[in-house]
Amino acid sequence: MQIIKVPGINGLGKTKGCETAGNAILAELGNIYTNESGREINSSILDLEEIHLDNSNLEITNKLIYENAFEIFSEQNKSIFLGGDHSISFSLVRGFLNNCHREKKNPCLIVFDAHPDCMPPVDKNFPTHEEWLRGIIECGFPIKNILLVGVRNSDPEELRFLKEKGIRIISMDQLMQNLEDTCDIIMEFSNGKELYLSLDIDVVDPAFAPATGYPETGGLSSREFIYLIQRLNKVKGLKVVDLVEINSEKDKEFGMITTKLGAKVLGEFL
């Protein structure tokens, strides 16, 4: 398994600071000696890579993310990408989709996020963190294989788009009615497919993860989030994870609690 830092940001000025999250998360991982399954975590022997980016040039940035991701998916059985903001997922998921097409596999995308990220595009070629999922849908990702989890604040335009496309959503309210049973449903959704799991830290309540661009109250606790991660890590078809929207610069105000949670989540996948 390879861990890849992707310090990309295209967040309308709201996500500056997320580009340093990969290094910050890995630094915090060094303070975790075992994950909750008892497996030892030795940061010094991890297979680490970085996609080096220039965020002032979105065309080159997106090209580099896509090309590197496509190659990684061809070589690695499992990959974890550390953002960056959620805009990086557009090119990552495109690479995943095209790799699945090449290998004749059935792609599945499950997104944990407080927001749908389906706003009308500012630039269709380079979606921001508010538009990336809309961009992926319009690129042809199979609609029946997309699941949004934890949504609790949607723009009316996003809701119209999601309804029109028939995208399946498990709202935060639905998720919390019975966390265990709903997790079963989420896992069943990915059955028999190649799974890409995208994790926006704002699915977690800002009481536990305050250092993000658009914090939304009423989210998961850190314990509930870790429970879901532990369950989903058992999915046979899990191939790719991205963890995004942790602002490690902003997190200095909060004792790095958000970054520590990111490291904890990463550790559970190892």
What does the pLDDT look like over 43-54, one tens digit per residue?
889 999 999 999
**CA-based nearest residue to 215, from 107, 145, 115:** 115
pTM for the whole structure: 0.97
Average pLDDT along the chain: 97
pLDDT of residue 112: 98
Q: Which amino acid is at 121?
A: P
pLDDT of residue 74: 94
Write out the residue range of the structural domain in which residue 135 sits. Answer: 2-269
Which of 129-165 are b and which e, b meaning 16 or more Cβ less than 10 Å from the residue's Cβ? bbbbbbbbbeeebeeebbbbbbbbebeeebeebbeee
**CA-based nearest residue to 127, from 252, 217, 263, 8:** 8
- How far is the C-alpha of 270 from the C-alpha of 254, rounded, in Å? 26
pLDDT-above-90 percentage for the chain: 97
pLDDT of residue 268: 98
Which CATH number fits the domain that encloses residue 147? 3.40.800.10
Supply 71's token pair. Answer: 């190659």
Q: pLDDT, tens digit, for every residue of 73-90? A: 999 999 999 999 999 999
Quick one: which H or E segment has residue 84? none
**CA-based nearest residue to 53, from 88, 77, 79:** 88
pLDDT of residue 73: 97
Q: How many domains does the chain have?
A: 1
The mean per-residue pLDDT over the stretch 126-141 comes to 97
240 neighbors 81 (Cβ within 8 angstroms): yes
**CA-based nearest residue to 147, from 117, 181, 111:** 111
**CA-based nearest residue to 22, from 3, 45, 40, 35:** 3
158: pLDDT strictly greater than 90: yes
- How far is the C-alpha of 217 from the C-alpha of 51, rounded, in Å? 33
Q: Counting beta carbons within 10 angstroms of the beta carbon of residue 13, is it exposed (0 to 12), middle (13 to 18) or buried (19 or more)?
A: exposed
Q: Which residue has the tokens 């934890």?
A: 150
Q: At what angle do helices 21-29 and 257-269 cross, to 10 degrees?
A: 70
Length of the chain: 270
69 band by pLDDT with thresholds 50, 70 and 90: very high
The mean per-residue pLDDT over the stretch 204-217 comes to 97
pLDDT of residue 156: 97
> From start to end of 63-222, where are the E strands?
79-83, 107-112, 146-151, 168-171, 194-200
- How far is the C-alpha of 157 from the C-alpha of 36, rounded, in Å? 41
pLDDT of residue 218: 98
149: pLDDT strictly greater than 90: yes
Q: How far is CA 260 from the centre of its chain?
A: 16
pLDDT of residue 209: 98
The mean per-residue pLDDT over the stretch 129-155 comes to 98
- How far is the C-alpha of 11 from the C-alpha of 27, rounded, in Å? 24
pLDDT of residue 124: 86
101 band by pLDDT with thresholds 50, 70 and 90: very high
Phi, psi (5° rounding) for residue 248? -70, -20
- How far is the C-alpha of 134 from the C-alpha of 159, rounded, in Å? 11
12: pLDDT strictly greater than 90: no
**CA-based nearest residue to 243, from 49, 3, 72:** 3
pLDDT of residue 39: 95
